[in-house]
Structure 1
Amino acid sequence: MNPQSLYFHPDYLDAVRAGRKTTTVRFRDPVEAGPVRLVFELDEEVSVPGVITQVTEKTVARLSEADARADGFRDLAELHDRLRYHYPGIGPADTITVVHFRPVQ
């Protein structure tokens, strides 16, 4: 069985490789724990093997500063800004998925 794929904006590749980004927040993008291909669309597709270790659901309003730092952001305000960029129209009452992952060698 092929692992699931999790697509990322190319800006996050270095942070994922360096271990500064260990979660991603997803909206209406179902994922499950287990093997994963972390995929980045650059000039060509770059894929990093990984594993999703935990998936939790919460509302946008319940995201914390710790969630923001694990996602590679300076603070919660920056995470909220990026969520609005990636998901225009997302609001505080919307349910999101926090996906915990790590690259594997």
Structure 2
Amino acid sequence: MQFVFPTPRGAYDAAIECLKTRLADEFPGRSSVPRRRFVMTERLADKVLSEQKSTTIRYDRDSVEYPAGPVLPLFAAAERAPQDEYRCLAGLRVLSVRYSTFEGLTEADARSDGFSSLDELLATLQQFYGRILPEDMVCIYEFALEPTATNPKPLARNIALDAASV
């Protein structure tokens, strides 16, 4: 299932309500939860900023997720860094969200996610999330860097995060 978000900014709230209804119909045994931010390793966040990465794949064994808003902040995390050291780098405008089984991921998904091969993507997801079964659902967010009025490349800043939606 794929859901493309409307271009007019005022239509976003209605689009989210429509998506939540579709999620309840498509995945009746799972709860729908909002994603409020994206946290990535510094290496992957750098690929976003250099526009070598235009999607991110997220997994939750017990739920399906949807974006909480049209633009979500991107945080970079150093290896094993505490959450209060995550750096907010940019805003990412969510263009679409697609739901697929883990085994349904493709080479094209790997390339758009900044990986050189499907095997590399699958191994990285398993390393980050633990064991993912072939039939488990993943959420694929397509995004674009959100330009700012004064600075096209936002300055990094430290910010504390809560554990939800990381």
Both structures adopt the same fold (TM-score exceeding 0.5): yes
Q: Which has the higher contact order (CA 8 A, sep 6+)?
A: 1
Match of 2:86 in 1: 45
Match of 2:47 in 1: 15
Which string of whole-angstrom CA distances, capped at 9 and with x for unpartnered residues, describes residues 39-94 of structure 1? 11247332211211111101011111100000000010111110111111112111
Q: Which amino acid aligns with 1:38?
A: L
Larger Rg: 2
- State the alpha-carbon separation in 2 of the partners of residues 103 and 16 from structure 1: 8
Contact map agreement 1:4 1:35 (CA 8 A) in 2: no
Q: Which of 93, 99, 102 pairs up with 2:141?
A: 99
Percent sequence identity is: 27
1:57 partnered with 2:99: yes
Number of residue-to-residue matches in the alignment: 103
Cα RMSD (Å): 1.8
Instruction: Provide the TM-score with structure 2 as the length reference.
Output: 0.57
Q: What secondary structure sits across from 1:38 in the alignment?
A: strand
Q: Which amino acid aligns with 1:35?
A: V
Q: Which runs of 5+ in 1 are unaligned?
A: none
Q: What secondary structure sits across from 2:43 in the alignment?
A: helix
Counting strand residues as a fraction of each chain, which structure ranks higher? 1
1:30 partnered with 2:65: yes
Match of 2:113 in 1: 71
Q: Which runs of 5+ in 2 are unaligned?
A: 1-34, 148-166
